[in-house]
Structures are given as C-alpha cells and as structure tokens.
Amino acid sequence: MLPYMPPGNDIEFVLYDLFDAETEWAQIPAFDSFDRDTVRAIVTECGKLARDVMAPLSQSSDEEGAHWNDGVVTAPEGFKDAYAALAAGGWLGVSGNPEFGGQGLPKMLTASLEEMFWGANTNLWLYATLTVGAAICVDAHADEDTRRLYLPKFYSGEWTGAMALTEAHAGTDLGLIRTRATPRSDGHYSITGTKIFITSGEHDLVKNIVHLVLAKVPDAPAGSRGISLFLVPKYIPGDDGLLGERNGFESASIEHKMGIKGSATSVINYGDAIGYLIGEPNQGLACMFTMMNYERLSVGIQGLGLAERAYQMSSSYAKERVQGRVPEGSRVANTDADAIVGHPDVRRMLLTQRAYNEGGRAFSMYVGLQLDRAKYAPIEAVREKASGFVDLLTPVAKAFITDRGLECTLLGQQVFGGHGYIREWGVEQLVRDVRIAQIYEGANGIQALDLVLRKVLRDGGATVGELIDDIRQTEVPERYTAAMDEALNAWQEVTRWLCDSAPSDSNLPGAASVDYLDVTGHVLYAWMWARMAGVSGSTDKRYVADYYFAKLLPRYYSLVASIRGGSASLMEPSSDWF
C-alpha cells in the first residue's frame, strides 16, 4: 500500500481561508487561545502520527485481523504500541471537557484530525473513536461523581468505551430490545442479555473497557419510550479509579467481516453484570443519541478519510502507469505509450474523487462549525439557529459523505484496473473498509428517512429554507451564480413539493428520502466549491470547482425528477411478488 500523506495544507485552507477560523474563534472565549501557529502545530503532529505510526499498520492489520480465543480478544500486531502513542499524545481527549482533563478543541478542528486518523488506519481508530463518543455521552448525561471518575480515564486513553445497542432481532428498531436491567439492593442494576455488532467491546489494548448499554427496566413503557442507558465497565472501579472485580460480561465471539478486519466486533453476553444508570429511567435513547450523533458525523468522516487515501493512491498510480496514447496534448517522445493520467476517462475518475473529497472536507468542517456555535456561541439566537442546522445536516453528513466515500474508493480501484483487484496494492482494502460506513451508526437509508420525516416534514421545510437564505447571502464567483441559483431553487421547490404532497401519500417520504438527501448533499457541496473557488488564490480550486459544476452538480436534475415520480411504482407490486 502506498504511503499516506496528511492533507494539512488543505485543512488549513478550509479553516482559515474558507471559514475564517481566527475571527470565528475570537468570538468564543473557550477558543480564543487557538492561534494559527498552535493549530498548525496540532495538525502537523496529528498528521505525523497518522502517517508514520498508524498508516504502516493498515494493510498488515487487515491481513492478520483480530483474534478470539475463549473470550479473550487480541488486536493485530503493532496495535498496542500504536494505540499507546495515540493515548500518550492526548488525541482521545482533544474535544473533551477541560474540567476533566480534556483539551476542549473546536469541533471544526477535531473533524479534520479525525479525517487523518480514519484515512491512515480505520481499523485502529475504531478502538479510539468509540471512546471519544462515550466520553461525550457521559459528560452530557452522567452525574458529577461518574464524570470525575470516568472522563479523565477516557481522555487519557487509559480506558476505552463501547456502545452496546444492537441485538440479533433489534437493529434500527431499538424498541424491540430484550436486554433487561433489574434493580439491585445497592441502588444499581443487574444487566442481562446479548448484544451483537459491538465494536471494540472486547480487546487487549487497555485494562478496562466501559460499555454504554441500552436495556429495559421492569415495567418500562413499550417500545423506544421504555429504553434506559447504563454504564457497564469490564472491571468495577473504586472511587479512587483503581480496578476491582471483573464484571459479568464476556465476548462470545467476534464477527468475520468483509472489511475492518483488524477491528474486533464482538457478540457480548451480559450475565448479571453491574450497570450504573445514566440519566433518567426510560430516557436512554435520548441520552444515547448524544453519542450516536457524534459517531454519525465521525463515520461520515471515515468515508472521507478512506476516499482521500484512495485518491492519493490512484493519482500517484495514474501518473506512473503507462498505457496507450492520449488523444491529444503532451505525448512522451520515443515511447510507445503515455501515462494514463492523460486519458479523459481517467481524469474523470480522479476529478470526481477530488471534487467529492475536498467538498466533503469543507462540508464536514462546516457541520463542525455549527456544532461549535450551537454549544459555545455567546448569543442565544446564534446557538438556536446552529442547533437547527446541526439536526438537519447530521444525517446528510453521515450518509452523503459515506456514499461518496464508496464511490470514490471504487473509482480509485478502477484507476488501478486489474491491479486494484489484487490485495498487494491495498486499494481493494479501502473499498472493503469503507463499505461498513454506509451501514453502521444507522444505515444510510434510515439517515435519509430521518432527514425527510423528522427534519424536513416536521417543520414544513422551515430549516431548509433558513439554510438556503444563508447560502444566498454568501458571495460566490459570478461564473457559478446562475448554476447555484438554479440548484437552490430546485432544492427549495422540491422541498415544498414534498411537504405539500406527503400528507396525502404516507409512502412518499420513504420513496423519496434517499434521492432528497442526495439532492441536499450535491447542492451543499456546490456551495462549498463555489466559496472555495472564490477565496482561493490559486487555480487548483477553480479547476475542481469548474468540474463539479459541469459534471457532478447536474446529477440533481434526475434526482428531483425521481422524487416527483412519487411512490406508486414502488408500492404497486404486492410483497409476495418479490
């Protein structure tokens, strides 16, 4: 596998040229100490760790995979030292609460750090990212004593986290879970049941693994209204943080998967395990969504990180691989063939990768910016507006970026041709590793349905309209204004059509949702590209922006037509017909 190169220069461009981070952070007391030199140092050090420590283990960890032996799970060779380097550098606590040892970095910045970790070694970063999400959930919903005990351990990397939601019969529909939480005499609970697909639920990188488990207490309301959230550590810690007795759960097996083979995904059996209630009884799903929404943006960035690595590999290969004569332009004298980078179709694939990757980088950091404003902006109206944008854009960030991630890794494989199908080159691993990102943390079809039902129809398209108004107020180069206006009008009109038509067709939201999410993503990326081309001092961004507007943005035409096609053609055949 070719070396990974951290995109530090482009990250700085997005932070400072596109989003004017200096001005943005100067308005937020929590961020006013993050000057440009400090941020450059953080990005540089993150890139070095990703490139020099994590990336060299990516292909070997895929070849070796994680190991299971009678409940003991072992990560691939080299992971323990690499994870220790992540922990020692404080990288698990970069977004954490400073009161408990976190660094409190802006989410707009940490989104870019995650991209490098995902791109360098998705298998390894999966052991860490669940810890970051668990810390966010505990910080938001646990009591003070629990926060003081667990958060410093999470931020230091001494303990890791895991999220235990799914059961064999209950994936998306968590209201069907059967795991039970029975009150104990000491005020805590006994957790009994089985969870599947538990990423990093058991491994040997640290001594203690803390599960956040969804379960139902006795006499809980039916469905999702009766779910509670429990903190279930592998070893029970004392108030001083020292580990005591082993808790009552174990890994029954690990999954044999298409990709992310170095990441241990366990079936976990809980047998009277001690659990500590987080938040109020029957409010567990609301608490867990704090973690899940973080993970959804993070998983979107997984798609971006892997797609960026695929572009780097295919771009390098295309400039070296010699096949055929280019139709016109520079031909190498005294040779029988030219580098394939000169062929129009290869350029199509490379430009598509670059357009979606750099657009995705800008978009993910824009969502991070809205998260920062929602939490820290000194003006309440700004916080409320940003919070609405976060709710609207989180499913788009998860689904659109990961769908493009698969598309771009497949394009990278196609550039390699037959060599892309061979394990030796490593690009086929990226295809396999990115595929799960469309499935876990809420499958992309569910993200699209959430966008349409809960975010668009619920407020009659008001938040979409507010975002479109914001977009119209930004300055973009004149060469893109007509296409931008046309795309915004189409998005606004199809939103209005959906809101008007859905009440009389209960199947329409489900029939239109994936197409609607793709319209949203394509228009938002166009906005990112128009803005980037406008603020860039080089032709690099303009080249890609021109390509995006000419070749990729027009995809929304057919998507809008498909949405307006309604649901009848989907629903006319009976279920037996399939």
Residue 330: its pLDDT value, please? 63
Class of domain 443-570: mainly alpha
Give CA torsion, residues 415, 419, 420, 425, to 10 deg: -120
Beta bridge partners of 211: 162, 232
Residue 79 CA to residue 244 CA, distance in Å, equals 26
Residue 201: its pLDDT value, please? 97
Residues counted in the chain: 578
Measured CA distances, 94 to 43, 128, 344, 536 (Å): 12, 12, 43, 29
Judging by DSSP bridges, how do beta strands 208-215 and 159-164 pair with one another?
parallel
Residue 243 CA to residue 236 CA, distance in Å, equals 6
Q: What is the pTM of this model?
A: 0.96
Q: What is the DSSP letter of 377?
A: -
Closest CA to 373 of 353, 393, 398: 393
As given in the structure block, the two tokens for residue 410 are 């497949």
Give the angle subtended at the CA of 36 by the CAs of 30 and 41, to the nearest 5°. 100
Residue 329: its pLDDT value, please? 65
Task: Specify the DSSP element, H or E, that contains 568.
Answer: helix 568-571
Task: Please list the active-site residues.
Answer: 441
Give the angle subtended at the CA of 224 by the CAs of 220 and 228, to the nearest 5°. 55
As given in the structure block, the two tokens for residue 359 are 């657009």
Sign for the CA dihedral angle at 526, 530, 535, 537 comes to positive
Residue 343 burial (10 A CB sphere; 0-12, 13-18, 19+)? middle
Residue 537: its pLDDT value, please? 86
- DSSP H helical ranges for 536-577: 539-547, 555-564, 568-571
- Residue by residue, pLDDT tens for the chain (578 residues) are 889 999 999 999 999 999 999 999 999 999 988 999 999 999 999 999 999 999 999 999 999 999 999 999 999 999 999 999 999 999 999 999 999 999 999 999 999 999 999 999 999 999 999 999 999 999 999 999 999 999 999 999 999 999 999 999 988 888 899 999 999 999 999 999 999 999 999 999 999 999 999 999 999 999 989 999 999 999 999 999 999 999 999 999 999 999 999 999 999 999 999 999 999 999 998 888 777 777 889 999 999 999 999 999 999 999 999 999 988 766 677 788 999 999 999 999 999 999 999 999 999 999 999 999 999 999 999 999 999 999 999 999 999 999 999 999 999 999 999 999 999 999 999 999 999 999 999 999 999 999 999 999 999 999 999 999 999 999 999 999 999 999 999 999 999 999 999 999 999 999 999 999 999 999 999 999 999 999 998 899 999 999 999 999 999 999 999 999 999 999 999 999 99
